[in-house]
Amino acid sequence: MYWFRVLLSLFLISLLLSSCNKNQNVAPIVTTRFTLTDTKIDGKKSGTFSNVDITPSITLSFSEPLDESSVSSTSMSFSDGTPIKATFSNHDSTVIVQPATPLKYLTSYTLAVNSTLKSKAGHFLSIGGVAISFKTQMDLTIKFPIISDSSLLDIVQQQTLKYFYDFAEPVSGMARERNTSGNLVTTGGSGFGLMALIVGINRGFISRANGIASFNKIVSYLEKADRFHGAWPHWIDGTTGKTIPFSNNDNGADLVETSFMLQGLLTVRQYLTSSDTVGNNLINRINNLWQTVEFDWFRQNNQQVLYWHWSPDKGWIMNMPISGYDEALIVYILAAGSPTHSIPASVYQQGWAQNGAIKNGKTFYGHVLPLGQDYGGPLFFAHYSFLGFDPHTQDAYADYWIQNTNQALINHDYCSANPKNFTAYADSCWGLTASDNPWGYNAQSPTNDNGTITPTAAIASMPYTPAQSMKAIRFFYYILGDKLWGAYGFYDAFNLNQNWTATSTLAIDQGPIVVMLENYRTGLLWKLFMSAPEVQAAKTKLGFTK
**Helix H segments across 364-452?**
400-417
Tell me phi and psi for residue 313, to 5 degrees: -115, -10
Residues 217 and 80 in one domain: no
**DSSP 8-state symbol, 455:** H
In a domain, residue 23? The reply is no
**Full strand arrangement of the beta sheet holding 94-99:** 36-41, 58-62, 94-99, 84-89
24 falls within a domain: no
Residues 176 and 297 both lie in one domain: yes
Q: Is 537 exposed, middle or buried (0-12, 13-18, 19+ CB in 10 A)?
A: middle
The pLDDT assigned to 16 comes to 43
Q: Is residue 347 part of a domain?
A: yes
Same domain, 179 and 268: yes
Q: How far apart are CA 162 and CA 487, in angstroms?
A: 8
Which residue among 73, 106, 136 closes a domain?
A: 136
Q: Is 330 exposed, middle or buried (0-12, 13-18, 19+ CB in 10 A)?
A: buried
With CA atoms as reference, report the closest residue to 352 among 406, 396, 390, 317. Answer: 396
If asked whether residues 240 and 117 sit together in one domain, one would say no
Q: Of 79, 113, 136, which closes a domain?
A: 136
- Integer Rg of the chain from CA: 34
Q: How many domains does the chain have?
A: 2
Q: Sign of torsion, CA 201 516 261 486?
A: positive
My answer on whether 55 and 79 are in the same domain is yes
Residues 301 and 158 in one domain: yes
Does residue 11 sit within a domain?
no
pLDDT value at residue 7: 43
Q: Rounded CA gap, 483 and 260, in Å?
A: 31
What is the CATH number for 116? 2.60.40.1220
Confidence (pLDDT) at 278:
83
Domain assignment present for 475? yes
| 382 and 314 in a common domain | yes
Helix (H, G, I), strand (E, B) or coil at 244: strand
Q: Is residue 462 part of a domain?
A: yes
DSSP state of 339: S
Query: Three-state DSSP class for 237?
Result: strand
HSE-CB for 215 with a 13 A CA cutoff: 33
Q: Which amino acid is at 302?
A: N
Residues 419, 430: Cα–Cα separation, whole Å? 13
228, 254 Cβ separation under 8 angstroms: no
513 within domain boundaries: yes
281 with 217, same domain?
Answer: yes
Residues in the chain: 546
| HEC profile of 106-169 | CCEEEEEECCCCEECCCCEECCCCEEEEEEECCCCCCCCCCCCHHHHHHHHHHHHHCCCCCCCC
| Of 109, 136, 163, the domain-final residue | 136
**Separation CA 472–CA 478 (nearest Å):** 10
Residue ranges of alpha helices (H) inside 208-297 are 208-224, 255-271, 277-291
Q: Residue 53 has what pLDDT?
A: 94
With residue 23 as reference, give the H or E element that holds it.
helix 2-23
State whether 155 and 85 are in the same domain. no
In the predicted model, residues of the chain with pLDDT beneath 50 are: 1-8, 10-13, 15-28, 30
Find the domain containing 270 and state its range.
149-542
Same domain, 277 and 252: yes
**Amino acid letter, 306:** L
pLDDT recorded at residue 277:
83
Q: Give the CATH number of the domain where residue 328 resides.
A: 1.50.10.140
Q: Are residues 445 and 415 in the same domain?
A: yes
Give pLDDT tens digits for 314-323: 999 999 999 9
CA atoms within 13 A on the CB side of 95: 23
Please choose, from the candidates 74, 77, 75, the residue with its C-alpha nearest in 3D space to the C-alpha of residue 34: 75
2 within some domain: no
CA geometry: angle 479, 483, 486, nearest 5 deg: 110
Dihedral-angle region of residue 43 (phi above 0 means left; psi in -120 to 50 means alpha; beta otherwise): left
* 122 and 158 part of one domain: no
Alpha helices in 227-354 (DSSP H): 255-271, 277-291, 329-337, 345-347
pLDDT of residue 393: 98
Over residues 486-529, the pLDDT tens digits come to 999 999 999 999 999 999 999 999 999 999 999 999 999 999 99
Exposed, middle or buried, 213 (CB in 10 Å: 0-12/13-18/19+)?
middle
